[in-house]
Amino acid sequence: MTNGNDAGTPQGRLTQDYSVLAHAVRRSGLLRRRYGYYWTRLGLAVLALGGAWCAVVVVGRSWWQLVVAGAMAVVLTQLAFLGHDCAHRQVFRSRAWNDWAARVLANVLVGISYGWWTQKHDAHHADPNREGKDPDIGPGVIAFTPDAVRSRRGGVSQWFARRQGWFFFPLLTLEGLNLHVASARTVLGRAPVHHRAFEAPVLMARLVVPVVVLFVLLPPGIAAAFLGVQLVVFGLMLGGSFAPNHKGMPVVPPTLEVDFLRRQVLMSRNIRGGVAVDFLMGGLNRQIEHHLFPAMPRPNLRRVQPVVRDYCAERGVPYTEVGFFRSYGIVVAYLNDVEHSAREPFACPVAGALGRT
């Protein structure tokens, strides 16, 4: 399938589908900034982080510190979500304000390199679930594509690949540590990073100073346990908010081109739920709307969802939304049988309509 510029051809009508939707959404005003929402969330999150550190001092040499560690991880996850929103230009009109707000939130407060993360995340948004393009399904401990499974050599690797879904959530407990390590390696390495002069010293200070403070204030055992709990909860919450949005959705072959609307909708999954799910997933549970309108303020995603869902129904574009626990069940089942679950080439309804593949 190829894109076309002639609105009178099937290809042209397909490429116009997103333009029509985007025009309607712009007229609705849902792309306007929500300054009150974001300033409130930013202020509360920073105050909560300060409160967590005050709690470390007040609780003192007690194993109740593990509760504080869990609470601090929740706050850090919320700060990471806010950094994500700034990175997508959702918060301020100024590109520079968004970039620097995200850079400060990521490097100074959360301990993740903004430069490293944006390169990876931008590539994901451009080509979700496309082999060779989306780094989120690239080679790693978990095999997300049939080719990755077939490339595994040895009995242990094959055994793990057939059961990796059961290991997915235990591995998420290491995601927080992985994010910190990958960030440090990037800013200290030779890969290009925007504003490395800022990120390298600030990020390393963020990763080292809290550890030193904990070991000064607390006995070594409690300090180590505090760090362990914080990293585990942070990894589970942050990794768990991204995992169910695309895993188990169609994997796109490298050579197949899909128009923007279908590229974002067909490869994304929404998660149903109320305020609790919105909080836990940072608004990423409305992944379809976020991918279609990445600069839309988070609270407006809920309001645009009926518009997008109805529009997809009119155009015959499958719109996937499942419950919270069901979404993780899909991920586990898919990963345990990647080679068969994704064995067939991506059956693109658009390609069928055009008579092309």
The closest of 65, 102, 108 to 219, measured between CA atoms, is 65
Q: Which residues pair with 130 in a beta bridge?
A: 252
Mean pLDDT of 318-339: 93
**Residue 14: its pLDDT value, please?**
64
Mean pLDDT of 318-322: 96
147 compared with 164, residue with greater pLDDT: 164
Q: pTM for the complete prediction?
A: 0.90
Is the per-residue pLDDT at 1 higher than 70? no
Q: Which residues pair with 45 in a beta bridge?
A: none
Q: Which residues pair with 271 in a beta bridge?
A: 322
Q: Kindly report the average pLDDT of the chain as a whole number.
A: 90
15 compared with 206, residue with greater pLDDT: 206
pLDDT in tens, 168-180: 999 999 999 999 9
Q: How confident is the model at residue 157 (pLDDT cuts 50, 70, 90)?
A: confident
**Residue 134: its pLDDT value, please?**
93
In the chain, what are the helix, strand and coil shares in percent, each to the nearest 5?
A: 70, 0, 30
Distance between CA atoms of residues 237 and 86, nearest Å: 19
**What are the residue boundaries of the structural domains of the chain, listed by start?**
24-354
pLDDT in tens, 52-95: 999 999 999 999 999 999 999 999 999 999 999 999 999 999 99
pLDDT in tens, 15-61: 689 999 999 999 999 999 999 999 999 999 999 999 999 999 999 99
The closest of 310, 239, 308 to 268, measured between CA atoms, is 308
Mean pLDDT of 324-353: 72
Is the per-residue pLDDT at 140 higher than 90? no
Mean pLDDT of 244-266: 92
**Residue 351: its pLDDT value, please?**
46
Q: How confident is the model at residue 9 (pLDDT cuts 50, 70, 90)?
A: low
Q: How confident is the model at residue 205 (pLDDT cuts 50, 70, 90)?
A: very high
pLDDT in tens, 99-114: 999 999 999 999 999 9
Is the per-residue pLDDT at 340 higher than 90? no
User: Which secondary structure element, helix H or strand E, spans residue 332, and what is its range?
Assistant: helix 324-336
Torsion sign, CA atoms 131, 116, 224, 282: negative
What tokens does 59 get? 């609780």
Is the per-residue pLDDT at 196 higher than 80? yes
Distance between CA atoms of residues 126 and 115, nearest Å: 17
Q: Which amino acid is at 115?
A: G
Least confident of 71-80, 138-147, 253-262, 263-272: 138-147
Torsion sign, CA atoms 84, 90, 92, 98: positive
pLDDT in tens, 287-306: 999 999 999 999 999 999 99
Q: Say whether 130 sits in a helix, a strand or coil.
A: strand
